Every structure is written in C-alpha cells, then in structure tokens.
Amino acid sequence: MTITQPPRGAIEACDTEPAFPANLIDPATLVDVAGLVDLAKALVAGDKGLLAMDESTPTCNERFAAAGIEQNEPARRAYRQLLVGTPGLCECISGAILYDETIRQHTSYGVPFAQAVADAGIIPGVKVDIGETALAAHPGEQVTEGLDGLVDRLGEYHQMGARFAKWRAVFTIGNHTPTSGCIDANASGLARYAAVCQQAGLVPVVEPEVLMAGDHNLARCEEVTEAVLRAVFAHLADQRVALEAMILKPNMVLPGSACPTQSGVEEVADATLRCLRRAVPAAVPGVAFLSGGQPGQLASARLNACNLRFPSAPWELAFSFARAIQHPALEIWGGDRANVTAAQNALYHRARCNQAARRGEYRPVMERTQRS
C-alpha cells in the first residue's frame, strides 16, 4: 500500500502554528480579555440595545436635506446633542455609536461628546471604518476601507473615551452578487479590524450588512446572509478574534424592498434565527440587529418576534438601530430648537418599544402611549 505524503507546504504551515488554538486570542498580545468580555456583555445586557448615531457626514446631510434641515456642522452637533440629552435614554440604551466628527466635538455646554454620553449612563462607542469604495474587478460591489492607521486612531478614540467600535461592510444581492471575491475581501477587513480593536482594548461591533435593496425573496436573503456570516466567522477565527469579546451586528433576514411578496413577522423571525443558528457561534454574547431602512414599528415587531419565538437563543437578541429609532425624532425636530423636547420624547418612545421587543413584550398598542 502506498501512503501519500501531505504536500510539503502543508507540513510547514502546521509546524509554524502557535501552541494556542486558532480561535483563541494570544494572551501575550491582549492586556485585558476579561474586561472586554464584561464590556461586550454589558452592551447587550438585560433588555437594552445600542443607539447608532454614527451616520457619516454625507449620510447625515442627506437625511437632514430630506427633513428640510440645514446641512452644517452646528446643526449636526445640535442634533446629536438632542439625542444624547434625551431624559431617561439610559433606561433602554446601553451604548451609543458616535461618528468621528461627533466624538471630536463638544456639546454647547463645553463637554466632550464621549463624556456627555458617559454622563448620560451610556457606554460611548465610535464608527472606525472610513466607508466603502468600489471593489476592483467586481462591478457594482464595494469594499470597506479604514485599516491603514487604524491602530493609532483606535488609541486616540480610546483616549477620548470610546470603549467599543464599529465597522460596516455591505453586500448587494443581485443575479450574480455578492461574489465570493466581495464576500472574502469584506470578511477579511471585518476580521482584521476586530482583532486590532481587541488589541487596543475596544470591543468590536462587527457589522456585515446584506442590503435590503432589490427584488429578491426571503429565501435568497437567507442564503446570502448565511454565506456572508460563515465567511465572516471563518476570518474572525483566522485572525484570532475572541468571540466572547465582540458583538455581531447583522441584518435581519428580509425579502428585498422591491420583492412582491413581503413575508410576515414570524416568517422573518424564523428565517433570521435559522440563519444565525447555522452560522454564528454560541460564544458570541450578543446579536444587535441593524434596521437597514425598515420602518420603525416593523423593526420593533420583527425584533419582538425573534425574542418571543426564540427565548433560549444562545446570544442576546438586541438592536443597534439608526433609522428605525431616530427617524421620527429627526422629522419632529426639523432643525428647530422649539421642538427639542418633542423630538426627545419620540426617540425615547422608539427606544422603549425596542426595549419591550427585547423581552418579547412589544405590542402595536404601545405606539399609542408616547410621553409628552
């Protein structure tokens, strides 16, 4: 009998493998894994969730323009101050994700924003990717940038008070997309970012977003989301990211916004949880969904169905919404100081609804009981 020897390269690769398993972080390179694990758990503890208020300046300006609000730095600062200053927000919100511009600003009272967030009883975080660019040789697909200089930027953000970070990668569903090249490039970027974050003492929020745009159906979104999540977790393992010290921020599994068949909330919850169970290791403490352009009440109802139908899921099923939690507040504010309290009440209301959804206790009737 002939015994085939493994190729020489394979033996060399094994010989150089470190003594610790590939999915655990090298203790020598990470100062306080336990601290990061506690922080990750705190971000998804109880019935709270994250407030994503990290729209880039172009995106924020776009939303301001749609609401008839001036698009300038003082307006963006005033709006972010309104959000952070919402009375009682910390009852429902554990962490707030800031944008680079915001974390460098001071409130009108002269308090640095990260400090204002912490003073409100909320953990400050920051978006650290620098956005998407066209992926070479992959027409219509994008890759997220921001790894250059990331170590230094994270050190600076940590000094400013940020304790967690976020990086978003996007995937478009089309007849031939996302391609394996796009999935691999973005999954690799997410994993390298996450490893650098943990080394710098920040909890990474890993956000692979399969976009809702398109006429694909629920099954196609499930198939793509599963492929993306599998690739992301393979790269996270390769990069020795401690899964216990990160948060996953995925899309819910949804039919495309132009799909003629819009699934019910239970169907969405079932597809979402089936997909997560197959692809997300139980060591991850929390899944904090993005809203992705869903109307606020529908996002709450779908989050509620996830928690109601899967109370023993291995991860906390939380939220990290931007549009679905902020939209009514932004519209009500409209750039007018006189509307600040009403806008804050609208934000608080959506936060309360999502908090109830975390417990599986959200009911549409709640929408009629907003504080004034």
Active site residues: 249
Contact 273/310 with Cβ under 8 angstroms?
A: yes
Rounded least distance, CB 346 to ligand 13P, Å? 16
Q: What DSSP character marks residue 178? A: S
Of residues 52 and 195, the one with the C-beta less far from ligand 13P: 52
Binding flag, residue 350, ligand 13P (CB under 6 A): no
- What CA–CA distance (Å, rounded) separates 169 from 251? 11
Give the residue ranges of DSSP H helices in the chain.
8-15, 33-43, 57-66, 73-84, 100-103, 113-119, 150-160, 180-199, 218-238, 265-279, 296-309, 323-333, 340-358
Selected range binding ligand 13P among 145-153, 189-197, 217-225, 318-326, rule: CB under 6 A: 318-326
Rounded least distance, CB 9 to ligand 13P, Å? 40
Angle formed by the axes of helices 218-238 and 180-199, to 10°?
50
Of 322, 346, 351, 353, the one binding ligand 13P (CB under 6 A) is: 322
Site for ligand 13P in 167-186 (CB under 6 A): 168
Contact 285/203 with Cβ under 8 angstroms?
A: no
Of residues 76 and 323, the one with the C-beta less far from ligand 13P: 323
| Residue 274 structure tokens | 């089936």
Binding flag, residue 357, ligand 13P (CB under 6 A): no
Tell the burial category of 76 from Cβ atoms under 10 Å away from its Cβ (0-12, 13-18, 19+): buried
Site for ligand 13P in 201-220 (CB under 6 A): 207
Binding flag, residue 53, ligand 13P (CB under 6 A): no
Rounded least distance, CB 60 to ligand 13P, Å? 12
Rounded least distance, CB 5 to ligand 13P, Å? 49
Convert residues 271-310 into a mask of x (bound to ligand 13P by CB under 6 A) and - (unbound): -------------------xxx------------------
Contact 335/63 with Cβ under 8 angstroms?
A: no
Cα Dmax for the chain: 86
Contact 189/143 with Cβ under 8 angstroms?
A: yes
Of residues 25 and 52, the one with the C-beta less far from ligand 13P: 52
CA atoms within 13 A on the CB side of 259: 18
Torsion of CA 190, 195, 198, 200, to 10 degrees: -100
Of residues 168 and 235, the one with the C-beta less far from ligand 13P: 168
- What CA–CA distance (Å, rounded) separates 245 from 149? 22
Of 235, 302, 323, 349, the one binding ligand 13P (CB under 6 A) is: 323
Selected range binding ligand 13P among 67-75, 131-139, 316-324, 328-336, rule: CB under 6 A: 316-324
Rounded least distance, CB 190 to ligand 13P, Å? 13
Contact 178/139 with Cβ under 8 angstroms?
A: no
Of residues 25 and 353, the one with the C-beta less far from ligand 13P: 353
Per rule CB under 6 A, count of chain residues that contact ligand 13P: 10
Of 164, 171, 321, 333, the one binding ligand 13P (CB under 6 A) is: 321
Contact 130/169 with Cβ under 8 angstroms?
A: no
Binding flag, residue 253, ligand 13P (CB under 6 A): no
Of 98, 324, 330, 332, the one binding ligand 13P (CB under 6 A) is: 324
Interface ranges with ligand 13P (CB under 6 A): 52, 168, 207, 290-292, 321-324
